[in-house]
Structure 1
Amino acid sequence: MRMLLLLLALGASPAFAAPAKYTLQPDASLIEFETDFGTDKITGQMPITRADLTLDFKNVSASHVAVTLDSAHAEASFPFAAQAMKGPKVLDSVDFPQISFESTSVTAKGEGAEVKGRVTIRGVTKPMVMLAMIWRQKGHQAGDLSHLTIRLTGAVNRSDFGAVGWSDMVGDQVRLDILARIARSD
């Protein structure tokens, strides 16, 4: 697997010298989360309803990401946790059925990239930083940037968004692990 820095070097070819639009392959992508539940963990997934992705391999800072998640259809490892999570004391999915993230900057960092942006949960918008790694999907030849996989990791504190229900039992920090498969659309 070749990481972001190698892709950036490969991106100098004329075919990838400008920003390129990518579409998400939702059936091959996972938005996973976990939080502490006493000595155990609550894990889950959330579907993506929209993703706008522009990647510029020559000028990483010109890249942009905007993603919307469907909190009303989130799933959790414990059935009661899913119901509680979507309820008014945590995500309040009836009044706030979507969670959104939009990048404000993308910079190369180590073998990956740092994606800074704004996340909106329960109608509250806060800054968020995610670390990204990117590589070609299996079966695609060197220099072929048409099908990529991105792994993003980060965390939010649910209390920052007023999602404070069951704080005596459930941890404040929610860790995110996103594996997104994307295909070039232009």
Structure 2
Amino acid sequence: MPLLNRRDMLAAALLLSMLRPVAAAPVRYVLDQNRSEVGFSFDLAGTRLRGTMPVAHAEVLVDFSNLSRSSVDVTLDVAKARVSLPLARRTMLGPDILWAERFPEIRFVSARIRLGPDGRISDGAEIVGHMTIRDTTRPVTLRAALYRQPGSAPEDLDLLNIRLTGSISRRAFGASGRADIVRDRVNLDISATVRRAE
């Protein structure tokens, strides 16, 4: 059997590399602001108050060949937060809690994704990341779901819905004002629609 010379070996290596499946690059998605917001709720003197905060920016990378390598980066607009009780809103945005004037954004950046039992970013998936509120960054784990638009074809991935839910301790982020009447836990429900970037 003849030995391969260096040129033949290089040609064979090139051919093999071309035959291997090429891993698809992650797909970048950008925020549809009109269809995205954060819902939150907290207890004030025994009454459950609910509010919303707009998503100012979100960038999502979805790696369809390995969903656990996907990522999320979400920024919220603190000053535009709304809550049903105007007095509670003023206090919430003031220096003892969120201090919107000095810290106008809340940000969550994913570090890793734990897929659900079916290997998808839904039905039990979690996103572990870091949230920054005021000048404090802490690890946070949120339940995650990523879906196609209702009624869309299975191959239509141009528009996706993301939902992140969980709760945080406001004290852990230095937003501990009015602890006498406002409980520590704040529930989060982030809903965002993202479009495939062109």
What's the TM-score once normalised by structure 1's chain length? 0.87
Match of 1:105 in 2: 112
Residue identity opposite 2:73 in structure 1: A
Instruction: For 2:154 and 2:53, locate their aligned partners in 1 and report how far apart those are by CA, in whole Å.
Output: 32
- 1:109, distance to aligned residue in structure 2 (A): 2.1
Match of 2:83 in 1: 76
Structure 1, unpaired ranges of 5+: 1-13
Match of 2:182 in 1: 170
Match of 2:55 in 1: 48
Q: RCO greater where, 1 or 2, for CA within 8 Å and sep 6 or more?
A: 1
Q: CA 1:150 to 1:112, structure 2 compared with 1: closer, same or farther past 3 Å?
A: farther
Between the two proteins, the alignment pairs up a number of residues equal to 172
Query: Quick one: which of 90, 107, 129 aligns to 2:141?
Result: 129
Match of 1:96 in 2: 103
Match of 1:36 in 2: 43
Residue identity opposite 2:173 in structure 1: F
Match of 2:154 in 1: 142
Q: Secondary structure at the match of 1:29?
A: strand
- 1:139, distance to aligned residue in structure 2 (A): 3.5
Match of 1:183 in 2: 195
Q: CA 1:58 to 1:112, structure 2 compared with 1: closer, same or farther past 3 Å?
A: farther
Runs of 4+ in 1 over 3 A off after TM superposition: none
Match of 1:67 in 2: 74
CA contact (8 A) 1:36 1:42 kept: yes
- 1:95, distance to aligned residue in structure 2 (A): 1.1
Structure 2, unpaired ranges of 5+: 1-20, 118-122
Instruction: For 2:141 and 2:67, locate their aligned partners in 1 and report how far apart those are by CA, in whole Å.
Output: 16
Q: Deviations over 1:80-135 (max 9, x none)?
A: 11111000000011111111111111120232421010000011000000111121
| Residue 164 of structure 2 corresponds to residue 152 of structure 1 | yes
Q: Secondary structure at the match of 1:81?
A: helix
- 1:154, distance to aligned residue in structure 2 (A): 1.1
Instruction: For 1:145 and 1:100, locate their aligned partners in 2 and report how far apart those are by CA, in whole Å.
Output: 26
- 1:143, distance to aligned residue in structure 2 (A): 2.1
Q: CA 1:134 to 1:112, structure 2 compared with 1: closer, same or farther past 3 Å?
A: farther
Residue identity opposite 1:136 in structure 2: R
Superposition RMSD in Å: 1.6
